[in-house]
Amino acid sequence: MLKPLKPKPTVPRNTILWGLVGLLVIAGIIALIASFNSSDGADEVEAIYTNAAETLAAQQLTMEAAQPTATETPTFTPPATVTPFATLTLPAAPALVSPTTSGSSGSSGAVGCNNSAYVDDVTFPDDTVVTPGQAITKTWKLQNTGTCEWTATFKVSFLNGNAMGGNATPIGISVPPGQSADVSVAMTAPSTPGEATGFWILTNDSGQNFGSWFYIRIKVGAAETPTEAPTEEPTEEPTNAP
């Protein structure tokens, strides 16, 4: 914090003025005495008074100039209050989005020279109604759109959704580039009614998924209750009285 400046001690103005007046009076007396010995005494007296007046005026101006100017005491301004920054809350990591079922396939992309494209559902097209626990062999037709041949050990692997008991299954056939083949997976329908969807994809011999993913979507209905055939009651034949 700044300290206020102390003004320098000065001689009171009244003291200086009275001193000058005294000098002026003494000068006048000397001039009167000298006038008795000179014919130009009056002129000298006037000159002395003029000089004394000029001296007095100059002294007054000097005093005013020397008078220290009052210095404004600096005002202490408290520092601005620092507002702490609001705590940033990081957004939660977005959940992984499962493949949509707006079409029968989607693309995962080529891996090296391996690529594939979905062609058609061979068995169990979308929304086929099955019974709870029904055995299913789902078959898709796929095309080799890469530049390498698929070997018989390439697999159809589960990707997402409901596997319905299905496991990674070798395609069991070699497929040259540009050719199509049917690939299948054995599954079992869920035991409870509702919709079930499972996503699958091809995997090469290096364990890398590639090409288009494809899926199965079925609707599990209620188990059918067998109905008994109605039984016919025997009718009595009329008898003739003797």
With a cut of 80, say whether residue 70 has pLDDT above it. Answer: no
d(CA 151, CA 146): 13
Higher pLDDT among residues 13 and 40, named by residue = 13
Cα torsion 155, 156, 160, 165: sign:
negative
Domains observed in the chain: 13-66 (no CATH), 105-220 (2.60.40.10)
Tell me, what's the pLDDT at 23?
Answer: 77
Position 216 scores a pLDDT of: 98
Select the more confidently predicted residue: 9 or 27. 27
Judge whether residue 3 has pLDDT over 70.
no
Alpha carbons 35 and 42: distance in angstroms, whole number: 7
What pLDDT, in 10s, does the model give residues 203-218? 999 999 999 999 999 9
Q: State how far Cα 30 lies from the chain centre.
A: 98
Q: Between these two residues, 183 and 236, which has the higher pLDDT value?
A: 183
- Tens of pLDDT along 113-163? 999 999 999 999 999 999 999 999 999 999 999 999 999 999 999 999 999
The whole-chain average pLDDT of the chain stands at 77
Determine the pLDDT at residue 137. Answer: 98
More confident of the two residues 104 and 119: 119
- Residue 32 pairs in a beta bridge with none
More confident residue, 93 or 70: 70
41's tokens = 């005494």
- Identify the pLDDT of residue 91: 46
Q: Which range, of 57-71, 150-164, 223-237, averages the lowest pLDDT?
A: 57-71
Q: Who contacts 238 (Cβ-Cβ below 8 Å, separation ≥6)? A: none
